[in-house]
Amino acid sequence: MRVQVYESSNGESLVQLLKSILLGLRNGHSLGFRLFVRDLKAGLEASLLGYFWIALPALASAGLWIFIQQQKIISIGDTALPYPVFVLIGTTCWTVFAESVNKPIQRYKSAMSLMVKLNFPREAIFVSAIYDLLFSLVLKVVVLFVIIAALGVVPSIGWVGILFFALGSMFIGVSFGLLISPFGVLLNDFSRAINMVMPFIMYLTPVVFTIQADSFLGKMQVFNPVTPWIESARNILTGAPIDVYALGLWVGISIVLSLIGLMLMRIALPIIVERAGS
């Protein structure tokens, strides 16, 4: 009988560590998919509204801001798109990003009891998180398409771009989530801090209102990883130019952060699992 032993990779070189991660992603893909399907079925069986809950947060946030804008409670500013479409695209992309930041920590925490008892490629947990996020993203974007079409926007092939830019929001969110996962799994304070900081960051991002480019906040958007994805998703409908340089830069950053995050988890998980099992 073949016995495989999983142990800490602290003694591995950088190249060996990367090879181990890639091998873990390949070997853990099937298990990761099965974990995703199992958790999806379990979540739907215990839910009355089922899939509707996936799209509800973005719709609820957009509905609130549409009401505020219509009642003229605050001044939103001029938007190139009808405001309901403007805010629906913004809240959808933002919800995808925020969910992606939290998902790796949630997945690793929920799988802790499994990791304590069984040896398997830990990258399977990451794979299951990606499948979960992709399923949620597609459902959100489909609902978005239906609503903006109902609002009078003529469907076009350019709408595929919205899906691509929402996907970019997801991957940049996952990269940040992976980077903080070792700390988030160890300390509940990180999860609480993320939930507290996220709404604040949202209001620094052009999600529900426009930001003047010549203002201080407007100039700081170059450091905001979500802004180019939201703006590009809107620009695809208006025909405005898309900042390809900014998108490419954040794609590169997300790849680097994801690799660093996976390496950190590879090194830290044996210690975390040992502490959880003691």
pLDDT at residue 102 in the model: 92
Average pLDDT, the chain: 84
125-181, pLDDT tens digit by residue? 999 999 999 998 998 898 889 888 888 888 888 888 899 999 999 999 999 999 999
Percent of the chain with pLDDT over 90: 31
Domain ranges of the chain: 14-273
DSSP for the chain? ---------TTS-HHHHHHHHHHHHHHHHHHHHHHHHHHHHHHHHT-SSTTHHHHHHHHHHHHHHHHHHHTTSS-----SS-HHHHHHHHHHHHHHHHHHHHHHHHHHHHTHHHHHH----THHHHHHHHHHHHHHHHHHHHHHHHHHHHTTPPP-TTHHHHHHHHHHHHHHHHHHHHHHHHHHHH-HHHHHHHHHHHHHHHTTTTTSS---TTSHHHHHGGG-SSHHHHHHHHHHHHT----HHHHHHHHHHHHHHHHHHHHHHHHHHHHHHHHHH-
User: Residue 231: its pLDDT value, please?
Assistant: 93
State residue 95's pLDDT score: 92
The predicted pLDDT at position 133 comes to 93
pTM of the entire structure? 0.86
